[in-house]
Structure 1
Amino acid sequence: MKFSYKFSNLLGTVYREGNLLFSSDGNSVISPVGNRITIYDLKNNKSSTLPIESRYNYTALDLSPNGCTLIAVNEEGEAHMISLISQTVVHKYRFKQKVNAVKFSPDGKHFAVCKENNVFVFKAPGPLTGQYNSFAMERVFHGAYDETTCLDWSFDSKILAVGSKDMSTKLYSLDKYRNFKVYTLGSHTDVIVGCFFEKNNLDITTISRNGQACVWECSVESSGLIPLDEPPKKKNRKNNDLEEDDVDTTKIVEKTETEISTALTEIKIDEETESDKKSKLYYKRLARHYLADEVRKDNRDAVLTAAAYHKETKILVTGFSTGAFFIHELPEVNLIHSLSISDQVISAISLNHTGDWIAVGCGGLGQLLVWEWQSETYVMKQQGHSNNMSCLSYSTDGQLLATGGEDGKLKLWNVYSGFCFVTFNEHASAITAVTFSGNRKFVVSASLDGTVRAYDVVRYRNFRTLTTPRPVQLACVAVDSSGEFIAAGGQDVFEIFLWSVKMGRLLEILAGHEGPVASVAFSPSVTSTTLASVSWDKTLRIWNAIEKGSAHESIELTADGLCVAFKPDSQEVAVATLDGQISLFNVHTSSQISSIEGRNDLGSGKSDTNLIGAKKVLQAKAFTSICYSADGQCLLAGGQSKNVCIYNVKEGVLIKKFEITQNRSFDAVDDFINRRKLTEFGNVALVEEREEKEGGNVALRLPGVRKGDMAARSHKPEVRVFSLQFSPTGQAWAAATTEGLLIYSLSVGLIFDPWGLQLGVTPASVREAISNKDHVNALMMAMKINESNLIQETIEQIPYNDVELTISNLSEQYLDRLLLIIANLLDNSRHLEYYLLWAENLLTLHGPKVKSQQNMPALLSLQKSLNRKYEQLSKLCDFNKYTMQYISKLGTISSKKETNMDISVSNEDNNDSDSDENLFNSDVEL
């Protein structure tokens, strides 16, 4: 289907909370991103988000030893067992309380979960256990006196160590052993953060929140554990002593039956006590170290927040609340390396299977980095916007995305890899608007600091800073199609400012609006410099400032204008207003074409603290961002809601609605308040909650503050769509939301969507036409069936000598689809030269027909594929070129060395021969 857009990737947010994981091969990092899970492939430099969404944020993860099963638990205690092969949720289980840690056993047969002061051990499904019920509980341990925080398995999966807030670590055995009971390891004065077994023994290291590390030595190896059902070992006695099996019957006959039983019992008890004494298990504390001493020199309040241990290399990594992390070698606790990455708390630390890479996550900044500690280099360093992402813009070829945030940073993202490759932080205040130039050479941003900045996308520098005669908070910005003029609208001064990019000078100040200028847009036509602007004064104004200066056409709106967008053919403009309507106007005649009533499509999204009903809430909703599709037939709209709507422009009807999130960790997701939160005293969310030390979880906000009171102890943001845009290729659209930057793309190949299908058009008839050398008919039938594999098979069966003849016989209606097909195959196939030949002949033979506006998305898709292939091959060619230059230079140097050595050897031979002659002559003289 044309609108079968599916969630594709999540950008802009790399880490929120919870623990980090490395994949079984050590090349990928698994990170919880809110209620989704993102996998960062460090080897191929690509990120992908699993198509799985939870109702709340994920807080605890663990991966099975074989790397196939992932267990993820959200903050409400709902556990998801996820298959990484099919990327689906296999099973769900409700713990009904927050889970602090989950851990698979090394043999993959069990996994343990910490909840409250309990530890639950489940059988892991699979062929190892023969159990296929996903959550089959096997053991429950209730030993802790406070909430459990961390756990670890011994190397043989027999013993489980569990740390707790009661400042102790308890050891439990999965099976029952005669010489093992529940052991408690103390010596700490704060909450246990981590407990780690050694590789081939039961020695253990425990770490607490105040930085204390205790090293414990076990008296018995794991092989010395005696199962409860094993018969006791016989005790070696002297020959004159009586054994249990060979009792002297002559003496026993004289005794009574009571004396016999008493004697045998005493012998048995004596044997058991002796054997238990030999294999008795106990722990001895070898040392106690204080890891936080170095950090507390600068900050007395620093605490240890995260720890990870690599058993093979005995490397311990600890992270602190100051943003510093330390690497120690156990059991001596020798400091190897230290690094400070930020001023925020380190929330999670993980090591890969070789111990070379350390993944560190900071929840406060949304930062995720992978550090190679031996070479002291970053493998990956990503950070999202520390505050809301307020605006976005696609580049003209759809390869890049620019985002601006309320933290004053402008970030550029690669859509294909999902990584941010450059961050600009020149703005001193929140960025309100961002847009790319038509030639993709620079990107422009407007900010509340009163400046418009232009950034070079090639050299990554701020080459223009445009200011106003007096300080103005700029709310919107636009660049014309030629890239020569920039327009920005004021928020507190109701004027539009026009600059020249080349000169860097202010050309014109367009006055006329009587309220804050909400949005401006240039005409996409190359021959026109028409500018449209909307304001809170309920007017739409059409300007032609380059030719006529401040002369303009004013159009009255039904309510305050919030956003304006031009149609790609520049003949029509759409305006979103505060009453939830989208009005369409003709630019030349200034007449209204149609109107779309979209308020009911937004959904109420009632907040927990709202005191009014859903109907009243709905009256305050409106679209704040609109965008035309690449072909101009549809309109994408989003705003103060979790819903994004696609409308048909001509009919004015809703085609499809997308729900961007189901995350109940955000506010205003549900349309109605849950009745469980309503009591006889009112809404529970209106009750101010406080934790220890008069802090924590104050849910109330300041009255009238929509973005949340930043001084509140807990901040629950509302779901919003701040900005959205269609990709110029028409294959995807992006939305900047509270959750991050969401990418939705067409699900190719999943849906059977034929085009002009007829009765005799079947895959068999296509293959028959191929065998009969009827390439034109075979290609047309394959395109009607619209199956990507069949189309690729048909195209690759055509000889390269017949490509030009085949394309020349195609009718005009197939051009647009064939361009898209060639662009997609260029992106994914290895037959580069063959498909380049198709693209060249297609554009050469049908060039005049392809120039129309409706073929623009296909042309942009082709340009995007060619640019991406060029970038990939240029890196490879440069690497090969420099490698060959190095090898040739190395060969030249080695050949020079060889010639020099030959010359020196020949000189030595000549000297030796000269000395021999002199010696001979001296002998003759003698």
Structure 2
Amino acid sequence: MRFSFKFSNLLGAVYRHGNLNFSSDGNCIISPVGNRITKFDLKNNKSETFPIEARMNISCVALSPDGSTCIIVDQEGATMLCSLISKTVLHHLHFHRPVTAVKYSPDGKKIALTKETLVQVYHAPGSTREFNPLLLHRTYYGAYDDTTCIDWSSDSRVFAVGSKDMHTRVFATSDMEQLVIYTLGGHKDCVVSVFFEENSLDLYSISRKGELVIWECDTDLKDLRPLDSSASNHSNKAERSLSAEQRTKENESVDRNKALYKKIARHYLNKEGDFTQLTCADFHKKNHMLVTGFESGTFHLHELPDFNLIHSLSISNQCIAAVSFNHPGDWIGFGCSGLGQLLVWEWQSECYVLKQQGHHNNMNCLDFSPDGQLIVTGGQDGKVKVWNSSSGLCFVTFSEHTASISGITFSGKAGKVVVSSSLDGTVRAFDLHRYRNFRTFTSPHPAQFVCLAVDSNGQLVSAGAQDSFEIFVWSMQTGRLLEVLAGHEGPVSSLSFSSVADILASASWDKTVKLWNIYEHKGARETLQVLTDGLAIAFSPDGQQLAVATLDGQITFWNVQTATQTGSIEGKTDLGGGRREGDMVTAKTSAAAKSFNTLCYSADGTCILAAGKSKHVCIYNIQEQMLVKRFEVSCNLSLDAVEEMLNRRKMTEFGNISLIEEDGDSSQAISLPGVTKGDMSSRFFKPEVNVSGVQFSPTGRQFAATSTEGLLLYSLDNALTFDPFDLTLEITPSMVRDTLHRKEWSNALMLSFRINEAKLIQEVVESIPFEQVESVCRSLPMTYIEKMLSFLATQLESSAHLEFYLTWSECLLTLHCPSFQTQSSSTQALLRSLQKSLTRKFQDLGKMCDSNRFSLQYILTLGKQSSSKRSASEMGIEEVDSEEDIEEQTYEMDSDSDQSNLALLY
């Protein structure tokens, strides 16, 4: 098994905090999600999270006009210059202060950012011949309070800045003859947004109370001329020699040439009696459209400068934190940080282009569908969400549960039923065909279900209770309670069905693991004693081995047939743990109390995936009983328990500053003993990083982990990894091509697999004639057949040669079916990966074919109806000799009407 897993995508979290940015073509939107950024492709309906992490949560993002680079700034002012093409960090810069806004100039040569009471302008990368990609151009002062927003003029020579001192200031990037620092007032609250008109110096300033002030300038942009430095020095020398009266006259003449601003209108965006504050705004300069978002979740769309109201809608019950127009101006993006919503709305047709929302709180559990195409998650908000692993988007949400979800799984081999257990005392089954809850399982007496398991056939559903220490078993077909398994003396923490034998395993806090034979109704068949409380169990894919995670941080392996322990792994030191802000002990001492809470076997059964209340996910080799690789799910310092060492800057003479309770808005509530989720009613909430669930994909190509950050996907990347197989010095790409030219197809294919480069393998496979596919498949050994199946699974998703690769798949499966049955453990993951690719291709082509077929049927029906309504005289039939002539002429008119209807439709 390969272990070169890399972070590939982030699901379950679409927006956290910060501003939204559309790409230059307007088809993609970039959203900050914690300390990462996610790109949503609105045309292809896909999402991609870049493998770039900031030190803390991202506060603002700026995209270059050409869309090649972006500036990412976190909450503490740490800045990264990133490439959106290679998805890498190009340069680091720290401002040591929080940055409220950052924006590229329209020509892409300068970058302006607001920091505290000043504004700094930097040269963009490539605009100067300097080694430093971000060179400071100038620092502008003048504000008496923190600056909040910034906007550039169309020619990139002038920018305006709004601040909390209720004033708007206009600056020039270079000295202008007509323009000096202008300060514009007129507001009664802090300025939220400032916008220039296109190709003009006219301004729109908007305050937090919803006041819109329109400023008109008497000078055009084309009339602004830069001040000559030599002329200014000469004028200064001449000014010294002038008298006082001459100086005043000279100043008066200069002031007449300066630009002047005049307030021409004032509008109020809030309705009468609506006291909600304005939080964000955006202005589209070409269409003259202004969109404003409010704390109440409503937004207004106005046309300026006439201030005509176009739309006023409520899209959420939480505050709208960010709003943005795309480049054409037909789509508007909204971000709601309270619920984690991301919406893209088309205002002309009044419909949603994108509507995504993650879990309101943390995720608790997840499961892959049998083909690995879907992922289902359950959260603390009581919602069940189904995600597409390829697109990264959620397409259905079930909200029937009224409490936190404790367990979730797919039922059956088809994977069209989702079963979930909750602390509300119910187990529900959802149908993915009709998207409804068709079964609800309950216990005779109220009980909180904390674990769930479904057998391999999807016929039995079992759930363990936390308070009554019992296991309830229901029938999926009838919904009746079949049996109540009693015997544990503590809460049941985990359940698992064997995929081969009819055995149900249960782990409990009473330091026992019981094996139940449900079908024979004989009660507990075996009782396995563990050293401490059992937290998680998992059966191997072949059903011969059982893994148990206990409270002391160990993973023990048991033989199911003999009920003997075959091995153990000490994972307490591997799991590790960070130090919380309020902890009085070291991270090493805190890690001593950590343990694994979730387990999962790999698809081939050689490795096991384990995680717990820590930022690490561990992969162990079962046979060697050693750690193979450890993944860090997050390095976000905005989360708690990430740092391993105590920050000395947070230590005062009275102790840790996190344990000092203060009065005022900036106070931090002290967490109660044993409370890990925090006080949700306090003003300040810092969640603790942990991993609540891990799961390997049935295809073996990726695994997923539910953490505080969201649903993290890690997958194998073949394109960037050189992993040869049995390679020697004589085997080179030129040798493979020479063998291919000699028409030795089988040897060329095996040599390309030994080099193991995807492009070379594709070149060899597509050079093999169609008639030679069956003979080549017969001559391949079993080792190369497995590699060929893996290659076909990846090519069926992206290649246009569908029939060619389907022929390869058919020949391999037909000729080597007995070998697959004897080596089911090693080829099971490959066959599932192939099934996933075929299923997705079938669904995509099926939708297209159905749409075309129904469209053609509709066109033909319209043609027959229109031709039947015409009379014989209108059809041009003057003399009718026989019935055959009538049929021929009617057929000709039917075909003509069909063609006309087809032309009208397209």
Q: Secondary structure at the match of 1:548?
A: coil
CA drift at 1:902: 3.6
- Structure 2 residue 60 is the aligned partner of structure 1 residue 60: yes
Higher alpha-carbon deviation: 806-815 or 643-652: 806-815
Higher alpha-carbon deviation: 679-688 or 67-76: 679-688
Q: Which residue of 1 aligns with 2:123?
A: 123
Q: Which residue of 2 aligns with 1:313?
A: 287
Q: Secondary structure at the match of 1:82?
A: strand
Q: Which residue of 1 aligns with 2:496?
A: 521
CA drift at 1:760: 3.1
Matched ranges for 1:25-424 at <5 A: 25-126=25-126, 128-131=127-130, 133-229=132-228, 276=254, 278-293=256-271, 300-424=274-398
Offset from partner CA, 1:676-699 (integer Å, 9 cap, x none): 222333222222345xxx334415
Q: Which residue of 1 aligns with 2:473?
A: 498
1:553 counterpart (510, 515, 526): 526
CA distance in 1, matches of 2:243, 2:521: 114
- Does the C-alpha gap of structure 1 residues 293 and 131 become closer, same or farther in structure 2, counting only changes over 3 Å? farther
CA distance in 2, matches of 1:614, 1:380: 42
Q: Which residue of 1 aligns with 2:446?
A: 471
Q: Which residue of 1 aligns with 2:626?
A: 653
CA distance in 2, matches of 1:656, 1:699: 38
Offset from partner CA, 1:130-169 (integer Å, 9 cap, x none): 5552210111111100000001011111211100011111
Contact 2:69 2:83 (C-alpha < 8 Å) held by counterparts: yes
Q: Which residue of 1 aligns with 2:23?
A: 23
2:708 counterpart (734, 738, 762): 738
Q: Which residue of 2 aligns with 1:788?
A: 758
Higher alpha-carbon deviation: 846-855 or 343-352: 846-855
- Structure 2 residue 839 is the aligned partner of structure 1 residue 867: yes
Q: Secondary structure at the match of 1:848?
A: helix
Q: Which residue of 1 aligns with 2:419?
A: 444
1:882 counterpart (826, 851, 854): 854
Q: Which residue of 1 aligns with 2:775?
A: 805
Q: Which residue of 2 aligns with 1:247?
A: none
- Does the C-alpha gap of structure 1 residues 175 and 263 become closer, same or farther in structure 2, counting only changes over 3 Å? closer
Matched ranges for 1:712-861 at <5 A: 712-851=682-821, 852-861=824-833
Counterpart code for 1:493: S
Q: Secondary structure at the match of 1:857?
A: helix
Contact 1:413 1:420 (C-alpha < 8 Å) held by counterparts: yes
CA drift at 1:332: 1.8
CA drift at 1:758: 3.4
Higher alpha-carbon deviation: 604-613 or 191-200: 604-613
- Does the C-alpha gap of structure 1 residues 394 and 278 become closer, same or farther in structure 2, counting only changes over 3 Å? same
- Does the C-alpha gap of structure 1 residues 261 and 85 become closer, same or farther in structure 2, counting only changes over 3 Å? closer
Unpaired runs of 5+ residues, structure 1, are 234-259, 908-926
CA distance in 1, matches of 2:351, 2:80: 35
CA distance in 1, matches of 2:244, 2:578: 77
Q: Which residue of 2 aligns with 1:245?
A: none
CA distance in 1, matches of 2:108, 2:708: 38
Higher alpha-carbon deviation: 770-779 or 317-326: 770-779
CA drift at 1:26: 0.2
Q: Secondary structure at the match of 1:621?
A: coil
Q: Which residue of 1 aligns with 2:891?
A: none
CA distance in 1, matches of 2:147, 2:646: 32
Offset from partner CA, 1:11-40 (integer Å, 9 cap, x none): 000000000000000000000000000000
Counterpart code for 2:307: V
Q: Secondary structure at the match of 2:51?
A: coil
CA distance in 1, matches of 2:242, 2:716: 81
Q: Which residue of 1 aligns with 2:578?
A: 605
Q: Which residue of 2 aligns with 1:567?
A: 540
Counterpart code for 2:158: I
Q: Secondary structure at the match of 2:19?
A: coil
Q: Secondary structure at the match of 2:520?
A: helix
Higher alpha-carbon deviation: 721-730 or 262-271: 262-271
Offset from partner CA, 1:166-185 (integer Å, 9 cap, x none): 11111111111222211111
Counterpart code for 1:194: S
CA drift at 1:613: 2.5
CA distance in 2, matches of 1:899, 1:807: 63
CA distance in 2, matches of 1:282, 1:618: 66
CA drift at 1:232: 9.5
CA distance in 2, matches of 1:309, 1:725: 45
CA distance in 1, matches of 2:131, 2:861: 62
CA distance in 2, matches of 1:200, 1:109: 18
Q: Which residue of 1 aligns with 2:895?
A: none
CA RMSD, 1 decimal: 2.3
Aligned length: 871
Counterpart code for 1:341: I
CA drift at 1:339: 1.1
Counterpart code for 1:861: S
Q: Which residue of 1 aligns with 2:598?
A: 625
Identity of aligned residues (%): 54
- Does the C-alpha gap of structure 1 residues 353 and 897 become closer, same or farther in structure 2, counting only changes over 3 Å? farther
Contact 2:149 2:193 (C-alpha < 8 Å) held by counterparts: yes
Counterpart code for 1:504: G
CA distance in 2, matches of 1:593, 1:666: 39
Contact 1:803 1:838 (C-alpha < 8 Å) held by counterparts: yes
Contact 1:78 1:93 (C-alpha < 8 Å) held by counterparts: yes
CA drift at 1:279: 3.1
1:485 counterpart (460, 467, 476): 460
Counterpart code for 2:591: L
- Structure 2 residue 5 is the aligned partner of structure 1 residue 5: yes
- Does the C-alpha gap of structure 1 residues 495 and 266 become closer, same or farther in structure 2, counting only changes over 3 Å? closer
Q: Which residue of 2 aligns with 1:912?
A: none
Provide the TM-score with structure 2 as the length reference: 0.93
- Does the C-alpha gap of structure 1 residues 471 and 264 become closer, same or farther in structure 2, counting only changes over 3 Å? closer
Provide the TM-score with structure 1 as the length reference: 0.91
Q: Secondary structure at the match of 2:752?
A: helix
Contact 2:429 2:440 (C-alpha < 8 Å) held by counterparts: yes
Offset from partner CA, 1:295-352 (integer Å, 9 cap, x none): xxxx754110110110001100000001001101111211100111111010000000
CA distance in 2, matches of 1:267, 1:225: 28
CA distance in 1, matches of 2:135, 2:875: 81
Contact 1:603 1:671 (C-alpha < 8 Å) held by counterparts: no
Contact 1:224 1:279 (C-alpha < 8 Å) held by counterparts: no
Offset from partner CA, 1:240-274 (integer Å, 9 cap, x none): xxxxxxxxxxxxxxxxxxxx999999999799567
Offset from partner CA, 1:841-897 (integer Å, 9 cap, x none): 111000111122221000000000000100111122122223333444455566568
Unpaired runs of 5+ residues, structure 2, are 233-237, 880-906
CA drift at 1:215: 0.8
Q: Which residue of 2 aligns with 1:709?
A: 679
Contact 1:308 1:317 (C-alpha < 8 Å) held by counterparts: yes
Q: Secondary structure at the match of 1:749?
A: coil
Q: Which residue of 1 aligns with 2:901?
A: none
Higher alpha-carbon deviation: 776-785 or 267-276: 267-276
Q: Secondary structure at the match of 2:792?
A: helix
Offset from partner CA, 1:635-691 (integer Å, 9 cap, x none): 10000110111000011000111111110010001112122222333222222345x
- Does the C-alpha gap of structure 1 residues 901 and 702 become closer, same or farther in structure 2, counting only changes over 3 Å? farther
Q: Secondary structure at the match of 1:565?
A: strand
Offset from partner CA, 1:183-222 (integer Å, 9 cap, x none): 1111111111101000021110110111111111111111
CA distance in 2, matches of 1:895, 1:158: 67
Highest CA radius of gyration, 1 or 2?
1
Contact 2:177 2:258 (C-alpha < 8 Å) held by counterparts: no
CA distance in 1, matches of 2:222, 2:265: 25
CA drift at 1:277: 5.5
